[in-house]
Amino acid sequence: MTSTAIAILNYNGEEYLKKFLPTLITNSNGFPIYVGDNASEDNSLQTLKTEFPTVLCVELESNYGYSEGYNRLIKHIKEDYIVLVNSDVEVTNNWLSPLIENLKKENVAAVQPKIKSYKNKKYFEYAGAAGGYVDKFGYPFCRGRLFDTLEIDAGQYDNETEISWASGACFAIQKSVFEEVGGFDGDFFAHMEEIDLCWRLKSLGYKIQYIPDSTVYHVGGGTLNYSSPFKTYLNYRNGLYMLLKNIPGSQLNRTIVIRVLLDWLSAGFNLLSGKWKLIIPIFKAHWHVLKHRTEFLSKRTNVEREDNFRKPYSIVWKYFFRRVRQFSDL
């Protein structure tokens, strides 16, 4: 008999806990809810203890970020299936059962619900939408979201399908396979660690599935605003880090060189757009990767088998030069 737990990682998210935990508790099917607190400086812990006494609190001694924070939280969880939910996610009625039922299928390691925008519920949400993919140069995109263009959910992605990666905003995973691949890479800190995790899972032959019968709403930017320079730094650094870890050796050098050039093109676009504060983080990210490349390369495992994770085209080319704005037109 398999068991299920819900896991939330919190950092200074008191207001989100007050707003979204009641609905989550109501729709948790009686499963235990664990909240790992990343050394919050607000009143999150006091709120959890006084207003949500049924929630199991795990106090972390420092802010370990998303990746290592979840690694440490999950060590406290004994259940077989773990549903990771961001603190700024609103769940819906019957969101949980479809995820768990599909997670029981053969060779399925992780599943993602349909993720829509909390601020405008007609639209998909940036972080995950209807399932994620990665282009040949490591840029992530989603069914329902290409770069900053979000699609209206008109039922066009209501088919269950295999995807490349499940969004860290909300996904369910078998604890055994999470542990089999070593969990999240703590060096990511935050952003794209779920893509790296899914890349490693798929390289072992596991499947990642999108389940449209489950829907949640995500605020987004709850801990780091989308326009944050630090978020920009993490995205560009971790994008290169992920490629260094996972690209087959025969393709590595060419892919990295082109990716760096495309990142510089992005920096130029930010310059022309007046987004001054987002330029320096890109070059800081590249410098960090250059300094630590040996360390990153040492984590390469199981990468010489056939690469079936990336799409064979450039999403940058299709979006910015071919003007493709919908996933279905790729």
Residue type, 56: L
pLDDT at residue number 223: 63
All structural domains of the chain, each given as residue ranges with its CATH number in brackets, are 4-218 (3.90.550.10), 229-329 (no CATH)
pLDDT at residue number 304: 58
pLDDT at residue number 112: 99
pLDDT at residue number 47: 97
The tokens describing 57, both together, are 């609190």
Per-residue pLDDT of the chain (330 residues; tens, 9 = 90+): 789 999 999 999 999 999 999 999 999 999 999 999 999 999 999 999 999 999 999 999 999 999 999 999 999 999 999 999 999 999 999 999 999 999 999 999 999 999 999 999 999 999 999 999 999 999 999 999 999 999 999 999 999 999 999 999 999 999 999 999 999 999 999 999 999 999 999 999 999 999 999 999 999 975 666 778 999 999 999 999 999 999 998 899 999 999 999 999 999 989 988 899 999 999 999 999 999 999 888 998 766 566 789 999 999 999 999 999 999 999
pLDDT at residue number 86: 97
The end-to-end CA distance of the chain, in Å, is: 42
Q: What torsion do the CA atoms of 110, 113, 114, 115 make, to the nearest 10 degrees?
A: -90
pLDDT at residue number 286: 97
The pTM of the full predicted model, rounded to 2 decimals, is 0.96
